Chain A
Amino acid sequence: KHPTLEDENSKMARWFRSEPMEYISMIVNEDAAHDCLADLGKLGVVQFTDLNPELTPFQRRYVSYVKRCDELERKLRFFGAECEKFNLEIDSAGDVEGFIESSTLSQESGAQILETLEVELEQYENQLKELNNYSEKLTIEYNEKVELQEVLEKARRFFMTDAPRLAVSQITQGRDAKRENLLGEVNVGRDMDMRFSSITGVVSTEEKSRFERMIFRATRGNCFVRFAPIKQPITDPETGELIEKSVFIVFYKSVSIESKLKKICDAFMAHRYTLPDMDDSASVDKMMTENAQELVDSRTVLLKNQDTRYRLCQMLAKSTEKWTWVVLREKAIYHSLNMFKADVAGMLRGEGWVLTCSMGDAKDAVNRAHANMDLTNSSLVESVPKPWPLPPTHFTTNKFTYGYQEFVNTYGIPRYREANPALFTAATFPFLFGVMYGDIGHGSFLFAGGLYLLWNEKANDKAKLGELTEGLHGGRYMIAMMGFFAIYAGFVYNDMFALGLNLFKSRYYFVGQDYNEVEEGTIATAIADYGDPETVYPFGLDPIWHVSSNELLFFNSFKMKLSVILGIFQMFAGTCLKGANAIYFGEKYDFFFEFIPMVCFASSLFVYMVVLIIMKWGINWNSRMASATCFDPADADVWGTTIYDGEWVECAADNDDANGYCTPTGISCTGYDDTATLCPLDFGGTGDGCQPPNLITTLINIALAPGDVDEPMYNGQAGIQNVLLAIAFISVPVLLLAKPYFLSKDMEAEAAAHGDEEDGEGGEHGEGFGEIVIHQAIETIEFVLGMVSNTASYLRLWALSLAHSQLATVFWEKAMLTTLNMNFFAAFLGFAVFAGTTFGVLLMMDVLECFLHALRLHWVEFQNKFFKADGIRFAPYSFKQIIDENAAKS
């Protein structure tokens, strides 16, 4: 089925005003409530109101179910954490929509679903916990074996190699009366057989130095400590982390030190191991081989345990997400049911907002659920009689409109059914961005970027993205549009990396340009006469402007005027939307006393300015100026040519002062006449219509010198401007006073109607009126001053466009042009600089800057004309949303 034009129109209209809402009450049978809600959650079109706001969570009806769901969630988080320990990814449970659709196929009731899940998860949790406990025990055992092995090895090496050497060296030193430490002190060379007690054990390497220091302090240096690191890090049985450990051996003499050392070992959680007599190498060897054998055994057991745990987790990883979804769904159902009220036994009553267009679906869902349980006719879904509470705002968006709607929502949710600025933003935002960013080259990059995002749309939709990429993905259509309009504006400005493109051949030429011999100061000549279609460059600006010396003057004048025209258009459109809202909501005061004066004010001064600008562009000033210029009729080079587009009339020398020169309209010149006398138009002022006016002066003089137009453009300009000024002046007090006046009259009438019973209300009435006046004064000031300052604000379109093109020019000239003229290597470097700055400054910073300024123009200049932005967002009870949000959270 192809969408007809009407469908498309209605879609647009649906985006213009938010979806109509219906406040419904639904009465459902308690037994079918779960299934009803399961179906409604699938639809996602209802937003329930909490009918028991006074109840705390635990006083609610279905709190035990919510608690059970919480418990299940805790178990699932536990599974997730366990899987993470094995670096197992939680498998995706597929499509969320698919899950939601399939979920009702099961014939289980709500309680059954929870029960089966509880039993299942409980079993797995116990299994996992048991395995973990077992694993902890095994790890401890295994660690002991490993550590003992290490201790034995290290100690044997120490006793075989280090100890004798140390003893000897200490002896020699001891003879020199340096009696610092234990070995030296006691040995003094005569008693090699003197035995020391020793403690051996394992301590974590991180604590090694503190351990050593503590021993030194506690024994006051009366001991001898040696460490040897264990190469293989040892697993901590509780956390599963790998810890570096070291074997230590401490020699000491006295028993009191021994108890101290033991305490320190306990404090540092160092495991102590008793060594056999190290001199009896046979027993040491035996112990080592025995231990090694045990080590192998316990390792096998440990690995087996690990394998079992791994396989269990693997299995859990497959289903965890699906279970999570089920639990989330059940929890959402019970949360919603908690908002219902049980007025009648066995029945539950809920209230909430539903999209009017989905009302039927919601009804069907409820009825179907009841029919399935043979409880037909026991449910009721109907509209609540008005008055309703304030309805929430909802827009049905698609991939394209979503970004723009979010863009507006960030500022404020539109009021229910008010004109949605997003509809207009979708077109004007990228366009205004383009006006500022206009450059074919840079725009193409941006466009390509946007297209790349669109190309990857499907993949990105599914993938979990970072915050930045997520934002880019959300704005993919916007970016592509921005790029497109930047290219478009670039063609209009004829700017490609700040260079003109000679696509259609310039309509001007310099003398000698074919031989590269154009001299400084040469004036470009048009290839055909004025008015000839040949002189018109087919699209955009003539590239010749990029090489002319008045390039900046011309571009500035053009872009400035363009910005003002676009700005006034946009603001006027905003004002009209205010009128549309007033009509839609039937607020006639708003329409007549706000919208109409606003339009009058805006048109009489600002739209008029646009008219003047366009009019000035449209007039052939060359011809008009020529008509007030004296020519020699005998000079055939000039006389009769196309500089004046009318009939050339030779003058009769009837005047004494005549010097033989004539204006093209046949007025004879004296050599000292001014334009006003020569000009045939007689519009008044010194220019008389033959002099191009300075628009700024003209506009300022509308207000400063009413009735006085120095350089008019059309006949009767002064009179028309006076009328416009008068309209503007009148509309301000109307805007300020009319609405409060009529409102106060209404209030009085209402008070009179209510009559005598409330005499004491006078004070409140006064307050209300004061508020209205203040509100209206603010509105008026904001609009009147706003029109001026906002128009000026739109000049940022020009300013940013200028900044963009000038930056591009600087990069091109300084980095590229200068180095191109040097040598290959310099050009190589130059290009790197050029590309780098172009990317960093123009493609990154300038895009952001233009984006922000376009954003501001919409949020402030456009939206303040009509947008109330005080709506409440529709938050439907929807499984999809809940599951998506949960996914985003984790």
Chain B
Amino acid sequence: MTTKVQMVHGGMTDFNIYHGYPEALVRGMRCSFLSDADYHHLTQCESLDDIKLNLAESDYSAAVADSDNLTPSGFQGVAVQKMVTEFTYLRTQCVEPLSTFLDFITYEYMIENIMLLLKGALSGRNINELLAQCHPLGMFKASTMRSIPTFEPNARGFADLYQTVLVDTPVGPYFAMFLQESSEKGGGAVRNVIEEVEIEIIKSSLIKYWIEDFYQFCMKLGGDTAEIMGELLKVRADTNAINITLNSFGTSLNEPAMRISDRKRLYPSVGHLYPAGTAMLADVSNEEELGRVLELFPAYSGIWNIHSTGNDKSIDDAFYERDVQQLELAFEGQMHFGVFYAYVKLKEQEIRNLVWITECVLQQQKDEIEKFVPVFSFHAPWRGGKKK
């Protein structure tokens, strides 16, 4: 990923000349977020039919008008499709380096799609079914997508996969780095990777490379973009590191030998936790120790406390809430690219909320329905408001 950038992109001097229009577009799309009233109405719904009717009053009206698939995944499908349409429109309106920046956002989805396909192949699921589940932002050409699950899930197969298919894709370099690293490590590569855990490890590595690459790219852009995106990506990297550690408990990754050799490799080399924090994380073997390490980082001790004490909220929710706060802040700023990233991520959160609400409505779990993180809500804790 080498993009020559002479100017500081994210400065006030020339930002609007190059990126004013896409920025204006994305600001206009702020209105498309569901409002507090919309959420309130949605949570009152009794059936998915009602949800459709309510969405017809929001910016999703055109999207849901012709859909007759009244399931949570159906709603998710149209919502994602709408987001992708908007994103693609933005993408077509922008010039370098913003276009590369937007492409970077999609790489994450590409990695997720590849992993989804590989995992699906392991469990022997139908390719069409898998393709329908893939995130449209991370789509390659149909033929590429279809060839991914055809490779053997072992080291050789992955090498083949890279050489035949992924080398053409933008995320190919990450895959190459992963292969390179596993071959250097020697022993690990020979082992058959048929467990799903192994797929998760690959995914974590790829995401790690992606975060690092994206971070470097943003730093190169400089200006406000570097500042704001740097912060967002650092937090993202930390979140990943914590989640990897947390999820490794009880798996082979937590074995003392593996902690350093495998788990530590998965921690991104950016973020507030890097390097001191990640070094400590590498040694933890259970939740208690993890909690002690995070105690040292005020930003994460709060989130950890939510996880360790309250059983009302999961750590994911805590992370989401913190993300939404930061992304909203990034969205409010001007003259930087973070707003595009924030837009995609906030939309993603909104879609998550929508799925949550529809699921709750479907399963008649009325008391659980309020557990979502609304976007641009006046009741958000950081706006001083309280949930009704």
A binding-site residues for B, Cβ under 8 Å: 56-59, 63, 66-67, 70, 73-74, 77-78, 207, 210-211, 214, 217-218, 263-264, 266-269
Contact = CB atoms under 8 A, between A and B. Distances in A.
Given A56-B44, A57-B54, A57-B57, A211 B143 contact: yes
Given A58-B45, A67-B49, A267-B146, A77 B54 contact: no
A118 to B, nearest CB: 15
B147 A214 contact: yes
Given A56-B44, A214-B165, A269-B143, 14 more contacts: A57-B53, A58-B45, A58-B49, A59-B44, A63-B53, A66-B53, A67-B53, A73-B65, A74-B65, A77-B66, A207-B141, A207-B143, A218-B164, A267-B144
A267 B50 CA distance: 40
B184 to A, nearest CB: 24
Interface string B38-76: 000100111001100110110000000110100000000
Contacts of B163: 217
B164 A214 contact: yes
B150 interface: yes
B121 to A, nearest CB: 11
Q: Closest 4 interchain pairs by CB?
A: A267-B147, A267-B146, A263-B150, A58-B50
A132 to B, nearest CB: 15
Nearest to B150: A263
B142 interface: yes
Contacts of B66: 74, 77-78
Nearest to B147: A267
Most B CB contacts (10 A, CB to CB) among A63, A73, A214 go to A214
Q: How large is the interface on B (under 10, 10 to 19, 20 to 34, 35 or more residues)?
A: 20 to 34
B141 A210 contact: yes
Nearest to B67: A74
A269 B142 contact: yes
A211 B146 CA distance: 12
Given A58-B45, A214-B164, A217-B164, A70 B56 contact: yes
B137 to A, nearest CB: 21
B349 to A, nearest CB: 23
Contacts of B65: 70, 73-74, 77
B147 A56 contact: no
Nearest to B41: A56
14 contacts: A57-B53, A57-B57, A63-B53, A73-B65, A74-B68, A77-B65, A78-B66, A210-B143, A214-B147, A217-B164, A263-B147, A263-B150, A264-B147, A268-B143
A77 B65 CA distance: 10
Nearest to A211: B143
Interface in B133-183: 141-147, 150, 160, 163-165, 167-168
A207 B54 CA distance: 43
Nearest to A66: B53
B333 to A, nearest CB: 34
Contacts of B44: 56, 59
Contacts of A58: 45-46, 49-50, 53-54
Contacts of B142: 269
A731 B164 CA distance: 89
Contacts of A63: 53
Nearest to B49: A67
Contacts of B144: 267
Contacts of B164: 214, 217-218
Contacts of A269: 142-143, 146
A66 B57 CA distance: 13
A216 to B, nearest CB: 9
Nearest to B37: A56
Contacts of A267: 143-147, 150
B41 A266 contact: no
Nearest to A204: B143
Interface in B191-241: none
Most A CB contacts (10 A, CB to CB) among B53, B143, B146, B160 go to B143
Contacts of B56: 57, 70
A351 to B, nearest CB: 22
Nearest to B50: A58
A58 B47 CA distance: 10
Nearest to B57: A57
Given A67-B49, A74-B66, A217-B164, A268 B146 contact: yes
Contacts of A210: 141, 143, 168
Nearest to B164: A217
Nearest to B51: A58
A67 B54 CA distance: 11
Most B CB contacts (10 A, CB to CB) among A57, A63, A66, A267 go to A267
Contacts of A67: 49, 53
Contacts of A77: 65-66
Contacts of A57: 41, 53-54, 56-57
Contacts of B68: 74
A73 B56 CA distance: 13
Interface string B93-108: 0000000000000000
Most A CB contacts (10 A, CB to CB) among B53, B54, B57 go to B53
A469 B66 CA distance: 32
Contacts of A266: 146, 150
Nearest to A210: B143
B11 to A, nearest CB: 35
B168 to A, nearest CB: 8
Contacts of A268: 143, 146-147
A66 B53 CA distance: 9
A217 B141 CA distance: 17
A210 B146 CA distance: 13
A57 B50 CA distance: 8
Contacts of A214: 143, 147, 164-165
Most A CB contacts (10 A, CB to CB) among B44, B50, B57 go to B50
A211 B144 CA distance: 10
Contacts of A56: 41, 44, 54
A56 B43 CA distance: 11
A78 to B, nearest CB: 8
A264 B146 CA distance: 8
A73 B167 CA distance: 47
A395 B297 CA distance: 67
A135 to B, nearest CB: 21
Contacts of A218: 160, 164
Contacts of B53: 57-58, 63, 66-67
A58 B46 CA distance: 9
Interface in B296-348: none
B53 to A, nearest CB: 5
Nearest to B146: A267
A68 to B, nearest CB: 12
Interface in B104-144: 141-144
Nearest to A218: B164
Nearest to B46: A58
Contacts of B147: 214, 263-264, 267-268
A175 B147 CA distance: 37
Contacts of A217: 163-164, 167
Nearest to A217: B164
A63 B163 CA distance: 57
Contacts of B57: 57
A267 B142 CA distance: 8
Most B CB contacts (10 A, CB to CB) among A56, A207, A214, A269 go to A56
A220 to B, nearest CB: 9
A70 B160 CA distance: 51
A419 to B, nearest CB: 36
B57 to A, nearest CB: 6
Contacts of B160: 218
Nearest to B45: A58
Nearest to A59: B44
A266 B131 CA distance: 14
Nearest to B148: A267
Interface in B323-377: none
B148 to A, nearest CB: 8
Most A CB contacts (10 A, CB to CB) among B66, B164, B168 go to B164
